[in-house]
Structure 1
Amino acid sequence: MRLWSRELWRLVLLAGLGALAGWPLSAPGLGLAVGLALCLLHHLRRLHALHAWLTHNPQADPPAAGGLWGELFDRLYRYQKGQRLTQSRLRSTLKRIQESSEAMRDSVVMLDRHGDLEWWNSAAARMLGLQAAHDRGQHVTNLIRDPRFVAYFNARDYRDPLTLPSPIDERLILQFQITLYGDDERLLMARDITRLHRLEQMRRDFVANVSHELRTPLTVLAGYLETFSSYVAENGADRLPPRFARGLSQMQEQTTRMQNLVNDLLLLSRLEIDQGGDDHTPLAMDALLESVRRDAEALSAGRQRITVEVEEARRLIGSEQEIRSAISNLAFNAVRYTPEGCQVTLRWKPHPQGACVEVEDDGDGIDPVHIPRLTERFYRVDKGRSAATGGTGLGLAIVKHVLLRHDARLEIESRPGRGARFRCVYPAARLAAPESVASA
């Protein structure tokens, strides 16, 4: 404020001196104009010096000046010096980030808000075949053209990673993960999981081969045990020592349990290996649920009340065998793990995202701590109780894989003492018009 006052007084002084100098010549206005012109010339010279400094050599010391211009030069110089320090720190940070990204074995690709490539590390160039001379500024889907990646990129739902072969080498299996940041920009990361993929493939092949190999001896064993049991029944069970009768009964039970386990393992292997989709047709869910209810009643033998509720008229497009297997597993679990006298309900109803199948019971319920792991293979909430009921520990794993093949998901709601509700949510794209409407 003091500097502005000085400049104002300087202007008034020059104007006054000019007017006084022109007064003897009877031209005070001319003298005033000359004084103002000198003041304007002074400021134009300082402005020219400022322009020359900022244009030609801004890193040099500012021009020497006093008053308001000197203060302005000093402030600009300090501001520029601070900006240079900030830019230097940012360049150093960016350099460290790039160096650390270069040291990573995973691919890192920076995309702008439109999905165009901005920067990537050497691992991305090696795994994805990116070339700085040609690919910078290209849209990522022009270089990774797999339809599954394009759908993943456009869906903007990046909670789960995507596994695909490398666009330049199909033997290289990559796991893609996209993260949103900044102004709708994206960070694409790709990890080489070829070894893990091969190990997983070996595991699946091993389980499938062992299950196939076990099926034949178990069938033979079950056949002979059935023959022995029939012979004993025909010739009188009292002729057989009690110890042998008990052993024969236990062998039949365990053989049946092993057969169920092998069948579930074979089904899981088929669900993992086979892409499916060939047998998908519109399914009448009321008839399907009624069929599952009858099977569950046979297993229950009257211990639970099992009902069906149909609130959705549309049909579900899918594999009847797989959908029946998933619903049957949920219904059979409800029968096995709920006390006598409980209510089990099979329900087909609308859902905000499409429609859903619910299997609900009013049994003992499940502690929420177990819910995230229920779909893991062989995971049991109560191992002793599960073994007593004859379960294989693979039912919910089968349900999860069936739902994945039908673009659906499993939701589990349960509290101890409040029963459990297993909900299979199917998207609207999986629904077809009711049979009466379709035939019309």
Structure 2
Amino acid sequence: MNLKSLNFKRFNLKNLQPQRLPPNTLPIWRDLVKDLRLCLVLLIIAAVIGLLSHALWPCLVIALVLFIGLQFRAFYQIYYWIRFQPEQNPPELSGVLGEILYLLYRYQRQEKQAKTELINTIARAQTSISALQDAVVLIDSKQHLEWWNPAAEQVLGLKAVDVQRPVLNIIRDPEFAHYFENLHDYPNGIKLDSWVKPQHFIQCEVTPFGDHEFLLLAYDITHLHRLEQMRKDFVANVSHELRTPLTVISGYLEMLGEQQDVSARWQRAFKQMQQQTRRMNALVNDLLLLSRLENEELTNKDQVIHMASLLNELFDDAQAYNSDYGHTLNLHIESHCNLLGSKLEIASAFSNLITNAIKYTPKGGVIHIGWSSDQEHGYFYVEDNGIGIEAYHIPRLTERFYRVDSARSRDSGGTGLGLAIVKHVLAQHEGYLDIQSKIGQGTTFKAVFAQSRLVE
């Protein structure tokens, strides 16, 4: 694509527009006086000649016609210059028309300078974009391909003949089509199997701009995908291999702890080892669950989950877990809608949110557990009146092993994977986790589900 194929309207011309002249009436009056003086001189000469020849009025009319003719001649010179000789210097004129011609010439030069700067800016931008290894594609308001850099031909397989063809006719991947038509549902873009290179993967991100136009960025993430897969396989394999030795260790510790001839000192040691073994076993189980969630190996997501029944079960479990904390638990079922998904996964995610609220709320707190819906979403929420969470922690809470307070998390026996599991469960159910918190007032964890997941 050459430079002319770019449409100037796509760029912000605000800083490149020619500067308008400030209002100043003095030059206008000065030039107007010149024109009036010329008209007056012609009239005086005509009057003198008219008085001498006893033809005053005809001479005055001739003077006015001559003055008007001179003005028309100046108008014609301006027209001829604009129409046929705009690149040359303007004709020399005096009076108001001369001042107008000067202003036009000055504005023309400023506009030419601005256009030159704009073209240079576009050229630099195009050169820079062309040097990128990532694909950059401009899509017009009709969703037609308008321009792309050379990398797009390697990453997306675009060809010169694809100019002005609909983007969805060129990139025919159904996942990309759904993404392009529902951009607001994919804030981080979408990962796709490459249709250009087998066993490669690309990340696509579409950003709307201008007048219903789009910028498509695409880049090869095969290396990152393989590293991520290696990490998942490593975690899954190590976690699986740890289960057997942990089971053996736990069994022997339990057997030794029940021996009557063991001293109290060793019984305390065995009890502590059992506690740590159970904690390690919980960590391994969470890692395995998270690994299966990432690989989408669990049950299908189209079961009808009866939310009232599920929440009552979770509430009973929470009451039992709460016996050591003394919180006041309240259950609010404000919607009759049920949820489509995997009951096992949803129960695990909701249970994580509830137990987190119980564990991290100071004793004697108040915790609200609820289910509600509106015309667009379904909401499961857990609200506590605990100490709250600093705002800078919130974006990272769903990261693996991220802890707001490491010492407190160790005391509570948490694995640091609970919210990561919740995030993955919700993502697989067309949902997301919304966290609102204020220091000293408490925290609300809200699982938000799309309307398509709700059933009566």
TM-score range, shorter chain: 0.7 to 0.9
Deviations 1:140-170 (A, max 9, x none): 3333333333343333537433333344335
**Counterparts in 2 of 1:57 and 1:380: CA distance versus 1, 3 Å:** same
Which of 307, 310, 324 aligns to 1:285? It is: 307
Q: Which runs of 5+ in 2 are unaligned?
A: 1-28
> Matched residue of 1:62: which SS?
coil
Tell me how far 1:314 sits from its aligned partner.
Answer: 1.1
Which of 228, 241, 254 aligns to 2:263? It is: 241
For 2:90, the equivalent position in structure 1 comes to: 62
Tell me how far 1:242 sits from its aligned partner.
Answer: 3.4
Q: How many residues align?
A: 426
For 1:137, the equivalent position in structure 2 comes to: 164
For 1:437, the equivalent position in structure 2 comes to: none
Tell me how far 1:327 sits from its aligned partner.
Answer: 0.7
For 1:366, the equivalent position in structure 2 comes to: 389
For 2:242, the equivalent position in structure 1 comes to: 214
Q: Is the 8 A contact 1:346 1:360 kept in 2?
A: yes
Deviations 1:47-72 (A, max 9, x none): 44434333333111223444444444
Counterpart of 1:322 in structure 2: which amino acid? E
Q: Is 1:333 paired with 2:356?
A: yes
Q: Is the 8 A contact 2:283 2:415 kept in 1?
A: yes
Tell me how far 1:280 sits from its aligned partner.
Answer: 1.8
Tell me the TM-score normalized by structure 1. 0.83
Return 159-168 or 368-377, whichever deviates more.
159-168
Work out the CA distance in 2 between the residues paired with 1:415 and 1:4. 71
**Counterparts in 2 of 1:41 and 1:193: CA distance versus 1, 3 Å:** same
For 2:345, the equivalent position in structure 1 comes to: 322
Counterpart of 1:295 in structure 2: which amino acid? D
**Counterparts in 2 of 1:40 and 1:153: CA distance versus 1, 3 Å:** farther
> Matched residue of 1:366: which SS?
coil
**Counterparts in 2 of 1:172 and 1:53: CA distance versus 1, 3 Å:** farther
For 1:88, the equivalent position in structure 2 comes to: 116
**Counterparts in 2 of 1:18 and 1:416: CA distance versus 1, 3 Å:** closer
Q: Is the 8 A contact 1:64 1:70 kept in 2?
A: yes
Q: Which runs of 5+ in 1 are unaligned?
A: 434-440
Tell me how far 1:402 sits from its aligned partner.
Answer: 0.7
Which structure 2 residues correspond to residues 290-301 of structure 1 after superposition, within 5 A? 290-301=312-323
Work out the CA distance in 2 between the residues paired with 1:297 and 1:279. 28
**Counterparts in 2 of 1:9 and 1:172: CA distance versus 1, 3 Å:** farther
Which structure 2 residues correspond to residues 3-402 of structure 1 after superposition, within 5 A? 3-7=31-35, 42-131=70-159, 133-157=160-184, 159-226=187-254, 228-229=255-256, 233=258, 237-274=259-296, 278-301=300-323, 303-304=325-326, 305-351=328-374, 353-402=376-425
Tell me how far 1:212 sits from its aligned partner.
Answer: 1.7
Q: Is the 8 A contact 1:276 1:405 kept in 2?
A: no
Work out the CA distance in 2 between the residues paired with 1:142 and 1:324. 42
Pairwise CA RMSD: 3.3
Work out the CA distance in 2 between the residues paired with 1:389 and 1:24. 120
Q: Is the 8 A contact 1:322 1:402 kept in 2?
A: yes
Work out the CA distance in 2 between the residues paired with 1:303 and 1:253. 19
Q: Is the 8 A contact 1:19 1:30 kept in 2?
A: no
**Counterparts in 2 of 1:294 and 1:67: CA distance versus 1, 3 Å:** closer
Return 6-15 or 319-328, whichever deviates more.
6-15
For 1:419, the equivalent position in structure 2 comes to: 442
**Counterparts in 2 of 1:9 and 1:154: CA distance versus 1, 3 Å:** farther
**Counterparts in 2 of 1:247 and 1:175: CA distance versus 1, 3 Å:** same
Deviations 1:249-293 (A, max 9, x none): 333322222221111111111111117672422221111011112
Work out the CA distance in 2 between the residues paired with 1:178 and 1:405. 22
Work out the CA distance in 2 between the residues paired with 1:334 and 1:65. 85
Tell me how far 1:225 sits from its aligned partner.
Answer: 4.1
Work out the CA distance in 1 between the residues paired with 2:301 and 2:206. 34
Work out the CA distance in 1 between the residues paired with 2:91 and 2:269. 107
Return 328-337 or 214-223, whichever deviates more.
214-223
Tell me how far 1:389 sits from its aligned partner.
Answer: 2.6
Return 323-332 or 267-276, whichever deviates more.
267-276
Q: Is the 8 A contact 2:301 2:340 kept in 1?
A: no
Work out the CA distance in 2 between the residues paired with 1:33 and 1:134. 69
Work out the CA distance in 2 between the residues paired with 1:336 and 1:72. 80
**Counterparts in 2 of 1:316 and 1:48: CA distance versus 1, 3 Å:** same
Tell me how far 1:405 sits from its aligned partner.
Answer: 1.1
> Matched residue of 2:260: which SS?
helix
Tell me how far 1:425 sits from its aligned partner.
Answer: 1.6
Tell me how far 1:322 sits from its aligned partner.
Answer: 0.8
> Matched residue of 2:367: which SS?
strand
Tell me how far 1:27 sits from its aligned partner.
Answer: 9.7
Return 357-366 or 395-404, whichever deviates more.
357-366
Return 250-259 or 7-16, whichever deviates more.
7-16
Work out the CA distance in 2 between the residues paired with 1:168 and 1:32. 86
